[in-house]
Amino acid sequence: MTGDVSHAQAPPDKARVAQELVARLDQALLKADGLVKANLILIKKTGDSWTWDMSIFRKGEDSLSLFESKGRGLEYKILFKEDGELIFAFNALSRKIFKKNDEEKYENHLNTGFSFVDLAGTSYQANYNPIVQSDLDIAGKKMKRVALRPIVPYFYSKLILLLEPDTLRPTRLDFHDKDGVLYKTMNIKYGPVKVKAKQKVTKEDIVSRLEMLDLNTGAISVLEYTEVDRDVKPDPSLFELDNLNRL
């Protein structure tokens, strides 16, 4: 009987190191309590582009994302409960609420490369098992590489995380579909972002852009963070399902 090496258990020390590298991904991605302002940009292969202004309210395990465009105003609200375990989408144009279950969480939102679960801020460390940790040479630069398997597989069959060797900053995440085919890749960019906290405004060098390339369509989706306001204390009513369809 032959075994699948991709499922082989790593030695305890390597498994611990791999877990720590995945934890760095969770730490890097922006999940600040308060209010985060961002732009979501879709650039199609034809050159056509669409932009939405995003407002992300977060308190603990709950968050609410609003998507507005210049032509239509508020188009969508997405309510994430229990760190993305529960996802409810409100289409402001049709005035309908949809609960996203299982594979529906992996549908692309607004035809961008970002799925609902990508936007949920769920913990990668809590939802994926690292199975391989190794070094990978890319254009003469050695990167840290971690392969991840979902604990409960719905659509993503495997993720590949790349980190800088010196700083251990996550720089890329590759997504493989349920057939094991690489179909999108997300580059993680860092830069100065305006942060308000304790009545002071500073600039912090944090994740400023997530660039998602859809290999099937050639489209690029960009999630660009512009401002973090930690002084905002979202009212608990924002995260109540009964209030989701209020405009």
Please give the model's pTM, rounded to 2 decimal places: 0.90
Query: Between these two residues, 111 and 140, which has the higher pLDDT value?
Result: 111
Per-residue pLDDT at 197? 95
Mean predicted confidence (pLDDT) in 84-98: 95
Query: Between these two residues, 101 and 31, which has the higher pLDDT value?
Result: 101
Q: Is the pLDDT of residue 16 over 90?
A: no
Provide the percentage of residues in the chain whose pLDDT is more than 70: 94
Per-residue pLDDT at 32? 86
Query: In the chain, which ranges are E strands?
Result: 34-43, 49-59, 62-69, 73-81, 86-91, 96-100, 128-138, 141-150, 158-163, 170-176, 182-197, 200-214, 220-229
Domain limits, the chain: 17-242
Mean predicted confidence (pLDDT) in 161-189: 96
Per-residue pLDDT at 10? 47
Amino acid at 3: G
d(CA 172, CA 164) in angstroms, rounded, equals 10
Per-residue pLDDT at 192? 97
Per-residue pLDDT at 13? 58
Candidate CATH numbers 3.40.50.2000, 3.20.20.70, 2.50.20.10, 1.10.3470.10; the one for domain 17-242:
2.50.20.10
Q: Is the pLDDT of residue 4 over 70?
A: no
pLDDT in tens, 227-242: 999 999 999 999 999 9
Per-residue pLDDT at 18? 87
Per-residue pLDDT at 14? 64
